[in-house]
A and B are shown apart, each in its own frame.
Chain A
Amino acid sequence: MPLCITREALEQIRRHAAAEHPLEACGLVAAASGSALAHRVVAMRNQAASPTWFSFDSREQLRVWSELDERDEECRVIYHSHTASEAWPSRDDIAHASDPELHYLIVSTWPAARHALRSFRIVAGRVFEEHLAIQE
Protein backbone atom coordinates (compact mmCIF):
# COMPACT_ATOMS: atom_id res chain seq x y z
CA MET A 1 0.00 0.00 0.00
CA PRO A 2 1.39 3.40 -0.94
CA LEU A 3 1.71 6.42 1.29
CA CYS A 4 -1.17 8.76 0.45
CA ILE A 5 0.04 12.32 0.89
CA THR A 6 -0.73 15.75 -0.54
CA ARG A 7 1.68 17.50 -2.88
CA GLU A 8 1.56 20.53 -0.63
CA ALA A 9 2.76 18.42 2.31
CA LEU A 10 5.68 17.09 0.25
CA GLU A 11 6.63 20.63 -0.77
CA GLN A 12 6.54 21.81 2.84
CA ILE A 13 8.81 18.92 3.83
CA ARG A 14 11.28 19.73 1.03
CA ARG A 15 11.33 23.41 2.01
CA HIS A 16 11.85 22.54 5.67
CA ALA A 17 14.75 20.22 4.85
CA ALA A 18 16.37 22.84 2.58
CA ALA A 19 15.97 25.53 5.23
CA GLU A 20 17.65 23.38 7.93
CA HIS A 21 20.54 22.16 5.76
CA PRO A 22 23.32 21.42 6.73
CA LEU A 23 21.54 20.20 9.86
CA GLU A 24 19.01 17.37 9.72
CA ALA A 25 15.38 18.48 9.66
CA CYS A 26 12.61 16.40 11.21
CA GLY A 27 8.90 16.41 11.70
CA LEU A 28 5.70 14.55 11.16
CA VAL A 29 2.70 14.51 8.89
CA ALA A 30 -0.71 14.06 10.47
CA ALA A 31 -3.82 12.47 9.04
CA ALA A 32 -7.39 12.59 10.33
CA SER A 33 -8.02 9.48 12.46
CA GLY A 34 -8.95 6.60 10.22
CA SER A 35 -8.12 8.53 7.06
CA ALA A 36 -5.47 7.32 4.63
CA LEU A 37 -4.42 10.82 3.56
CA ALA A 38 -1.47 12.45 5.33
CA HIS A 39 -1.78 16.20 4.86
CA ARG A 40 -0.80 18.31 7.86
CA VAL A 41 2.92 18.83 8.23
CA VAL A 42 4.26 19.65 11.68
CA ALA A 43 7.91 20.67 11.54
CA MET A 44 9.66 19.72 14.77
CA ARG A 45 12.77 21.12 16.39
CA ASN A 46 15.73 18.77 15.97
CA GLN A 47 16.93 18.69 19.55
CA ALA A 48 20.23 17.19 18.39
CA ALA A 49 20.84 20.10 15.97
CA SER A 50 23.22 17.81 14.08
CA PRO A 51 24.08 17.10 10.43
CA THR A 52 23.97 13.35 11.17
CA TRP A 53 21.34 12.86 13.91
CA PHE A 54 17.85 13.97 14.76
CA SER A 55 15.65 13.64 17.77
CA PHE A 56 12.33 15.22 18.61
CA ASP A 57 12.38 17.63 21.53
CA SER A 58 10.42 15.59 24.07
CA ARG A 59 8.48 18.51 25.55
CA GLU A 60 7.49 19.78 22.14
CA GLN A 61 6.48 16.23 21.23
CA LEU A 62 4.10 16.00 24.20
CA ARG A 63 2.47 19.25 23.16
CA VAL A 64 2.13 18.16 19.54
CA TRP A 65 0.77 14.73 20.45
CA SER A 66 -1.83 16.34 22.77
CA GLU A 67 -2.82 18.56 19.87
CA LEU A 68 -3.17 15.53 17.57
CA ASP A 69 -5.50 14.02 20.13
CA GLU A 70 -7.59 17.20 20.41
CA ARG A 71 -7.86 17.39 16.63
CA ASP A 72 -8.73 13.69 16.32
CA GLU A 73 -5.66 13.15 14.16
CA GLU A 74 -2.95 10.54 14.05
CA CYS A 75 0.75 10.78 13.33
CA ARG A 76 0.99 9.00 9.98
CA VAL A 77 4.50 9.91 8.78
CA ILE A 78 7.78 10.68 10.51
CA TYR A 79 10.10 12.56 8.17
CA HIS A 80 13.70 13.63 8.44
CA SER A 81 16.50 14.67 6.13
CA HIS A 82 19.89 13.24 5.27
CA THR A 83 22.38 15.97 4.54
CA ALA A 84 25.29 13.99 3.11
CA SER A 85 23.84 10.66 2.06
CA GLU A 86 21.06 9.06 0.04
CA ALA A 87 17.43 9.10 1.09
CA TRP A 88 17.58 5.59 2.50
CA PRO A 89 17.18 4.51 6.16
CA SER A 90 20.47 4.38 8.04
CA ARG A 91 21.25 1.73 10.66
CA ASP A 92 20.22 4.24 13.33
CA ASP A 93 16.97 5.00 11.49
CA ILE A 94 16.16 1.30 11.40
CA ALA A 95 17.09 0.77 15.05
CA HIS A 96 14.81 3.62 16.14
CA ALA A 97 11.88 2.82 13.87
CA SER A 98 9.82 1.23 16.61
CA ASP A 99 6.37 1.57 15.07
CA PRO A 100 5.52 -0.74 12.16
CA GLU A 101 2.36 1.27 11.44
CA LEU A 102 4.20 4.50 10.65
CA HIS A 103 5.57 5.68 7.31
CA TYR A 104 9.15 6.89 7.40
CA LEU A 105 9.90 9.52 4.79
CA ILE A 106 13.45 10.63 4.12
CA VAL A 107 14.53 13.69 2.15
CA SER A 108 18.11 14.02 1.00
CA THR A 109 19.60 17.51 0.78
CA TRP A 110 22.87 16.04 -0.50
CA PRO A 111 23.56 17.44 -3.97
CA ALA A 112 24.79 14.05 -5.19
CA ALA A 113 21.65 12.14 -4.11
CA ARG A 114 20.08 10.14 -6.91
CA HIS A 115 16.59 10.45 -5.45
CA ALA A 116 15.73 13.37 -3.20
CA LEU A 117 12.67 11.94 -1.44
CA ARG A 118 11.68 8.36 -0.65
CA SER A 119 9.27 6.73 1.75
CA PHE A 120 9.49 3.47 3.68
CA ARG A 121 7.87 1.09 6.09
CA ILE A 122 10.27 -0.40 8.61
CA VAL A 123 9.02 -3.60 10.21
CA ALA A 124 11.05 -5.69 12.64
CA GLY A 125 14.26 -4.19 11.32
CA ARG A 126 13.40 -4.74 7.66
CA VAL A 127 13.05 -1.86 5.22
CA PHE A 128 10.32 -1.80 2.59
CA GLU A 129 10.27 1.10 0.15
CA GLU A 130 6.79 2.27 -0.79
CA HIS A 131 5.25 4.32 -3.56
CA LEU A 132 3.70 7.71 -2.99
CA ALA A 133 0.09 8.31 -3.99
CA ILE A 134 0.19 12.09 -4.32
CA GLN A 135 -3.01 14.05 -4.01
CA GLU A 136 -2.87 17.37 -5.83
Chain B
Amino acid sequence: MSVSVMVPTLLRPLTEGQKKVEAQGETVRQLIDQLDQRYPGIKGRLVHDDQVHRFVNIYVNDDDIRFADGLATVIAAGDRLTVLPAVAGG
Protein backbone atom coordinates (compact mmCIF):
# COMPACT_ATOMS: atom_id res chain seq x y z
CA MET B 1 0.00 0.00 0.00
CA SER B 2 1.30 3.45 -0.85
CA VAL B 3 0.77 5.85 1.98
CA SER B 4 1.92 9.31 2.97
CA VAL B 5 4.35 9.65 5.85
CA MET B 6 4.57 12.89 7.86
CA VAL B 7 8.14 13.48 9.00
CA PRO B 8 8.97 15.60 12.07
CA THR B 9 11.35 18.52 11.69
CA LEU B 10 14.09 16.65 13.51
CA LEU B 11 14.21 13.87 10.88
CA ARG B 12 13.81 16.01 7.75
CA PRO B 13 17.57 16.16 7.12
CA LEU B 14 17.22 12.43 6.38
CA THR B 15 14.33 12.92 3.93
CA GLU B 16 16.00 15.65 1.87
CA GLY B 17 14.17 18.30 3.86
CA GLN B 18 10.76 16.96 2.99
CA LYS B 19 7.92 17.12 5.50
CA LYS B 20 5.83 14.56 3.66
CA VAL B 21 7.08 11.52 1.78
CA GLU B 22 5.45 8.52 0.14
CA ALA B 23 6.26 4.95 1.09
CA GLN B 24 4.89 1.46 0.61
CA GLY B 25 4.27 -1.53 2.79
CA GLU B 26 1.64 -3.91 4.10
CA THR B 27 2.77 -3.27 7.68
CA VAL B 28 4.56 -0.44 9.44
CA ARG B 29 7.70 -2.60 9.58
CA GLN B 30 7.70 -3.14 5.82
CA LEU B 31 7.00 0.51 5.20
CA ILE B 32 9.95 1.59 7.33
CA ASP B 33 12.24 -0.87 5.55
CA GLN B 34 11.14 0.55 2.20
CA LEU B 35 11.53 4.10 3.47
CA ASP B 36 15.07 3.30 4.60
CA GLN B 37 15.99 2.15 1.10
CA ARG B 38 14.93 5.50 -0.28
CA TYR B 39 16.19 7.57 2.68
CA PRO B 40 19.11 5.69 4.24
CA GLY B 41 19.45 6.03 7.97
CA ILE B 42 15.83 6.76 8.77
CA LYS B 43 15.13 3.25 10.01
CA GLY B 44 17.71 3.63 12.75
CA ARG B 45 15.80 6.63 14.09
CA LEU B 46 12.43 4.88 14.01
CA VAL B 47 13.22 1.34 15.13
CA HIS B 48 15.45 -0.08 17.85
CA ASP B 49 15.72 -3.79 18.67
CA ASP B 50 12.80 -4.45 16.33
CA GLN B 51 10.52 -2.17 18.36
CA VAL B 52 9.38 1.40 17.95
CA HIS B 53 12.32 3.59 18.97
CA ARG B 54 11.70 5.10 22.40
CA PHE B 55 12.36 8.61 21.11
CA VAL B 56 9.54 8.57 18.56
CA ASN B 57 5.82 7.95 18.39
CA ILE B 58 4.46 6.42 15.20
CA TYR B 59 0.80 6.77 14.34
CA VAL B 60 -1.33 5.15 11.65
CA ASN B 61 -4.03 7.76 11.17
CA ASP B 62 -4.91 8.77 14.76
CA ASP B 63 -3.67 5.62 16.46
CA ASP B 64 -0.33 5.27 18.21
CA ILE B 65 0.94 1.91 16.95
CA ARG B 66 2.26 1.07 20.43
CA PHE B 67 -1.41 0.60 21.35
CA ALA B 68 -2.12 -1.38 18.19
CA ASP B 69 0.25 -4.07 16.87
CA GLY B 70 3.47 -2.09 17.02
CA LEU B 71 5.57 -2.51 13.92
CA ALA B 72 3.24 -5.34 12.79
CA THR B 73 0.35 -2.87 12.53
CA VAL B 74 -1.32 -3.31 9.16
CA ILE B 75 -1.51 -0.41 6.72
CA ALA B 76 -4.39 0.14 4.32
CA ALA B 77 -4.55 2.25 1.17
CA GLY B 78 -5.20 5.88 2.04
CA ASP B 79 -3.77 5.59 5.55
CA ARG B 80 -1.56 8.35 6.84
CA LEU B 81 1.53 7.58 8.90
CA THR B 82 2.80 10.28 11.25
CA VAL B 83 6.06 10.29 13.17
CA LEU B 84 6.49 12.62 16.13
CA PRO B 85 9.31 12.95 18.65
CA ALA B 86 8.35 11.29 21.94
CA VAL B 87 8.48 13.83 24.76
CA ALA B 88 9.45 12.58 28.19
CA GLY B 89 11.91 13.05 31.00
CA GLY B 90 12.28 13.27 34.72
Contact = CB atoms under 8 A, between A and B. Distances in A.
Contacts of B59: 58, 62
**Interface of A, helix, strand, loop or mixed by DSSP:** mixed
B85 A98 contact: yes
A101 to B, nearest CB: 7
Interface in A14-34: 24, 26, 28
A95 B55 CA distance: 9
Contact of B89 (A28, A58, A61, A96): A96
Interface residues of A, number: 29
A93 interface: yes
A78 interface: yes
Interface in A25-61: 26, 28, 44, 48, 52-56, 58-59, 61
Interface of B: 9-10, 55, 57, 59, 62, 64, 66, 82, 84-90
Enumerate the 8 nearest inter-chain pairs by beta-carbon distance, A residue then B residue, closest first. A92-B90, A55-B88, A93-B89, A56-B87, A58-B64, A58-B57, A96-B89, A98-B55
